[in-house]
């Protein structure tokens, strides 16, 4: 399957692809995207319509996977996917709305199905996924509770230190550790989906329909 991956860093994209291949149970063929001028959540949101347009008209991609960090924005809930349930501050909802708007305006591809798109929300960041099963404190439910109480058991910086040994990893270090943890998680996707049921669960549900 020909799949493009868009995330907040190239290291994250390596890990996401490995997780997608584990969900699919087979390798994917990468579809390259133009290197963005900047990285992070704002860049993903801003470039997404252009990325979809490029994949639809100028490549033979079959699917696109988009994964972003939630940081301290609202955590996605399945209720958001119901009519009238959209949470405007939820990044998953924002991406989903942008995707629907862009796809509505695309001309059909001759003899080809529409681009399949799956969205994941790493709560609060993808390093939390990398700590899944290694640190019992790090779960989606714990972060939801922390957002409500204001008492955070860990932070983005502490997660990075736990994963990389520093909160400012080089790209080479981040990529190596992302691969290592993604390979580990690929052996137990049920655990990842159980502990991150909305952010990773939404991604898994979409991918399993392909």
Specify the pTM: 0.93
pLDDT at 96 over 80: yes
Separation of alpha carbons 187 and 94, rounded Å: 31
**3-class secondary structure, 116:** strand
- Any bridge partners for residue 148, and if so which? none
Lowest mean pLDDT among 42-51, 62-71, 72-81: 72-81
pLDDT, one tens digit per residue, over 174-206 is 999 999 999 999 999 999 999 999 999 999 999
Query: pLDDT class for 80, splitting at 50, 70, 90?
Result: confident
Q: What is the pLDDT of residue 197?
A: 96
pLDDT, one tens digit per residue, over 126-176 is 999 999 999 999 999 999 999 999 999 999 999 999 999 999 999 999 999
Please report, to the nearest 10 degrees, the dihedral formed by the alpha carbons of residues 116, 74, 76, 52 taken in order.
Answer: 0
Separation of alpha carbons 40 and 57, rounded Å: 25
Q: What is the pLDDT of residue 37?
A: 79
pLDDT at 108 over 80: yes
On whether the CB atoms of residues 85 and 67 are closer than 8 A, the answer is no
pLDDT at 82 over 90: no
Identify which of 186, 162, 184, 164 has the alpha carbon closest to the alpha carbon of residue 175. 164
pLDDT at 33 over 80: yes
Query: pLDDT class for 109, splitting at 50, 70, 90?
Result: confident
Lowest mean pLDDT among 3-17, 31-45, 87-101: 31-45
């Amino acid at each position: 399957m020909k799949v493009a991956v868009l995330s907040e860093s190239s290291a994250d994209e390596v890990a996401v692809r490995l997780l997608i291949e584990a969900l699919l149970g087979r390798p994917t063929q990468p579809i390259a995207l133009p290197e963005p001028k900047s990285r992070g959540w704002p860049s993903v949101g801003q470039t997404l319509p252009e990325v979809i347009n490029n994949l639809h008209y100028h490549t033979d991609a079959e699917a696109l996977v988009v994964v972003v960090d939630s940081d301290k924005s609202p955590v996605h809930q399945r209720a958001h996917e119901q009519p009238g349930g959209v949470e405007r501050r939820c990044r998953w909802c924002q991406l989903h709305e942008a995707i629907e708007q862009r796809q509505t305006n695309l001309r059909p591809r001759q003899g080809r199905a529409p681009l399949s798109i799956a969205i994941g929300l790493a709560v609060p960041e993808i390093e939390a996924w990398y700590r899944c099963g290694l640190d019992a404190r790090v779960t989606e439910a714990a972060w939801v509770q922390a957002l409500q109480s204001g008492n955070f058991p860990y932070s983005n910086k502490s997660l990075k230190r736990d994963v990389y040994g520093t909160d400012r990893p080089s790209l080479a270090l981040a990529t190596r550790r992302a691969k290592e943890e993604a390979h580990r998680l690929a052996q137990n996707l049920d655990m990842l989906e159980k502990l991150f049921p909305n952010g990773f669960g939404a991604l898994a549900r979409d991918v399993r329909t392909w």
